[in-house]
Amino acid sequence: MVDIPDSHPRKNSLESRNKIVQGSRKGLLADSALIAHGRGEAFDYLLGEKTSEIANLAIKEVSARLLVAKKPVISVNGNTVILAGRNFIRIAAALGCPIEVNLYYTTPERVSGLISLLEEQRKEVVLEDFKRGENWKKKILAVDFLGLETDYKIAGLDGPRANCCKAGIGDSDTVLVPLEDGDRCEALVNELKEVLVIDLNPLSRTARMATVTIVDEVSRASEEIFKEVTKRNNIPSDWDNLVSLNESLKIISSSFLKDSNY
């Protein structure tokens, strides 16, 4: 992996890119995952590679909804595990909910590879968080990693991507699903679940179908979600997702107009 100096203005973005390239070399990602990452890079660049005010509000809303959910679940794909697996393990520990590896282009090898990576990340989290005490450690160790054996089908989807776990997505009332595809997002909404997504493209079908969309980069957003679910001081509001997406659109659009004065 190339060493990027701390002074580089786009260090985080380049490090994320390296992680995705490494993950791809290890066979953890479908080919299209690198292309999807590139699309995300472009949108994040336009957002100034920082969490906006409206993204912060969406993060608080998502955290509030996760805390009041009866059966929340975190659905992750390869990019999510590689970029932010440890943050999602912490969020799952704080909520006492499972993490389900659920892939668009799924193979048993990739699912088990990603579950192994989550197991490694869990060990890192235990070491990093040792000051939080035994109770926290127990919660981290108790997080279930699902996805290897599917026993539930999401209604309205064809083929392998309909498959998921009953104990995970199947029985859940609320799904936190970073980087989801549009069809599946729609199918989950049709199952009357709350679908909370993290998507850098405010125009994507996923962003527009979801109950709450955080328009932000997944590792930044997940770090903030963890802080918020730990504080436990947010309550769900009447969230108008399209209004919030319009705020993100305005930020991107003004970044173009600002730069056009070069």
- Interface residues with its own copies (CB under 8 A)? 17, 20-21, 24-25, 31-32, 34-43, 45, 201, 203, 208, 242, 245-246, 249-250, 252-254, 256-257, 259-260, 262
**Residue 43 contacts residue 200 (beta carbons within 8 Å):** yes
Cβ distance to its own copies smaller for residue 3 or 134: 3
Burial class (CB in 10 A: 0-12, 13-18, 19+), 104: middle
Burial class (CB in 10 A: 0-12, 13-18, 19+), 6: exposed
How far is 17 from 14, CA to CA, in rounded Å?
A: 5
Phi, psi of 33 (to 5 degrees): -65, -35
| Inter-axis angle of helices 134-142 and 108-128, nearest 10 | 180
Residues counted in the chain = 262
Cβ distance to its own copies smaller for residue 135 or 260: 260
Q: Could you tell me which of 81, 74, 73 has the C-alpha nearest to residue 33?
A: 81
How far is 151 from 168, CA to CA, in rounded Å?
A: 10
| DSSP string for residues in 83-112 | HHHHHHHHHHHHHT--EEE--SS--HHHHH
Least separation in angstroms between residue 207's CB and its own copies is 11
Supply the DSSP symbol for 236.
-
Least separation in angstroms between residue 27's CB and its own copies is 13
